[in-house]
Amino acid sequence: MDLYTNFAGIRLENPIVVAASDIGNRVDQIREAEYYGAAAFITKGCIPGTDAAGLKRKPRFRVNIKNGAFTGLAGFRRQSLDQARHLISEAKKACRIPIGANIFAMTPSEKELESVTHAAKLLCESGADFIELDTSGNLPVHFGETEREGRTGEFFVDDRAANYPRFVYDTIKSVKAVVDVPVMGKVAYENLNVPALLTAMEQAGVDIIDVGNAGVGLLPGIIDIYHPDKAKGGFVSADRNLALCLTGNPLRAISQAYLIRSAKQVRTPILGCGGIMNWKHIVEAIMCGATATAVCTAFMIHGFGIIKDMVAGIRSFMEHEAYSTVDDFKGILVGKIALTPSEVSVSDAVAVIDSEKCNGCGLCAKPAHCGLDYRAIRFEQGKAYVDKDQCMGCETCASICPLGAIEMVLIDQRIA
């Protein structure tokens, strides 16, 4: 059994990559992650421009342990090009795992293309084993990242947003022409046109695509309807919350759908990112089409020590399921999940209730859409029963029943 993963030609000892974030600003962080078993590390994002608002940020974070959710205020820090070069150079002296350099490609322009290309060349010369081009730039919340005043959103509807896929294509081609290491493109869930970006990346010859980033959303529990003035989240040093940087468990449902979607569209290897908190989530991401996974929030909450548990969990799972390699279960869910209703073949079905199991709790009769002409589920002598002529076969009741007393039975006739 082997956890080895081929990461765009780079050998990874397991599918766990530390994602670019505030946990990648120092050499000791990279060294600690390596000690606990991380297979590769992506350093904190670099902005080549000297006037970037991100270089002056003071990030503030809040965690909801119960929900495994995490949010950031004031945004994440960014590195200058000089800082990124120094970090890569020193980290390569202290660590043996592959280290990638994240570079932001934000505002579509010839100047930006040239500065990103120049930065990639210098970071490669500093020892970076791969380059990650962070192309979350056509998000309305991210546009303006490199503006002197740090404003966001002002370029959302102009031609630069429409031309962003072409800018991404040209930037990848330009970077690949000056570096001799793998080049990865990164997309975010709220990018204006994710399919177009994926196609642009693949046609430009990108070596791997990182699908995932923080999402737009509020931390669960942040709203107190009786004390709305507390919506800032209890921060002492911040005057309000931020509906931008939501990560952790709430993000996973979205990230897995985007993995499936991306795996169906491109043949380029995918790095899955978003909501990965334990070994099971890593396995799920690989089953959704990821070649490897990028983890961030779990480490920001629990530290790098959980990497050992992740590796052990994956190994135990593979032994139990008789998988010899990670590739044995890679993408096995892709063909089982549709992206549109037209891809799904639906058969007629009817709900059947086992009266011996039914305790008459009434939960199955609650759904407001139940029945064609009138409600299909009724009660007699404290037990539920189904009027088969009125049952739509929607399966809601079967998924609600706490006792498993409802079974869906197929009818021979098939429907389109």
Instruction: Enumerate the domain spans of the chain.
Output: 5-336, 345-415
Closest CA to 290 of 24, 17, 9, 42: 17
- Can you tell me whether residue 159 is helix, strand or coil? helix
* pLDDT for res 407: 96
Pairing of strands 130-134, 270-273: unpaired
* pLDDT for res 147: 45
DSSP-assigned letter for residue 373: S
> Percentages helix, strand, coil for the chain, rounded to the nearest 5?
35, 20, 45
Give the type of residue at 248.
G
Angle at 96 between CA 90 and CA 97, to 5 degrees: 105
Element (H, E) at 10: strand 10-12
Indicate whether this model's pTM tops 0.75: yes
Give the type of residue at 303.
G
Q: Which residues contact 168 (CB under 8 A, 6 or more apart)?
A: 105, 133, 135, 185, 197, 200, 201, 204
DSSP string, 12-49: ESSSEEEPSSTTSSSHHHHHHHHHHT-SEEEPPPB---
Q: Which residues contact 329 (CB under 8 A, 6 or more apart)?
A: 283, 286, 287, 321, 323
* pLDDT for res 173: 98
User: Do 29 and 44 form a contact (C-beta atoms < 8 A)?
Assistant: no
* Domain 5-336: top CATH class: alpha beta
User: Do 211 and 273 form a contact (C-beta atoms < 8 A)?
Assistant: yes
Instruction: Note whether 5-336 and 345-415 share their fold.
Output: no
**Could you list the pLDDT tens digit for every one of the 416 residues in the chain?**
899 999 999 999 999 999 998 899 999 999 999 999 999 999 998 988 766 655 666 777 888 888 888 887 655 678 889 999 999 999 999 999 999 999 998 778 898 899 999 999 999 999 999 999 998 755 544 444 444 444 444 444 556 667 888 999 999 999 999 999 999 999 988 777 889 999 999 999 999 999 988 888 888 888 888 887 766 666 777 777 777 778 899 999 999 999 999 999 999 999 999 999 999 999 999 999 999 999 999 999 999 999 999 999 999 999 999 999 999 999 999 999 999 899 999 999 999 999 999 999 999 999 999 999 999 999 999 999 999 999 999 999 999 999 999 999 998 754 43
User: Do 150 and 38 form a contact (C-beta atoms < 8 A)?
Assistant: no
Q: In the CATH scheme, what architecture does the domain 345-415 have?
A: 2-Layer Sandwich (3.30)
Q: What are phi and psi of 370, to 5 degrees?
A: -65, 130
Give the type of residue at 315.
R
DSSP string, 246-259: EEEHHHHHHHHHHH
Tokens of 362: 């009434």
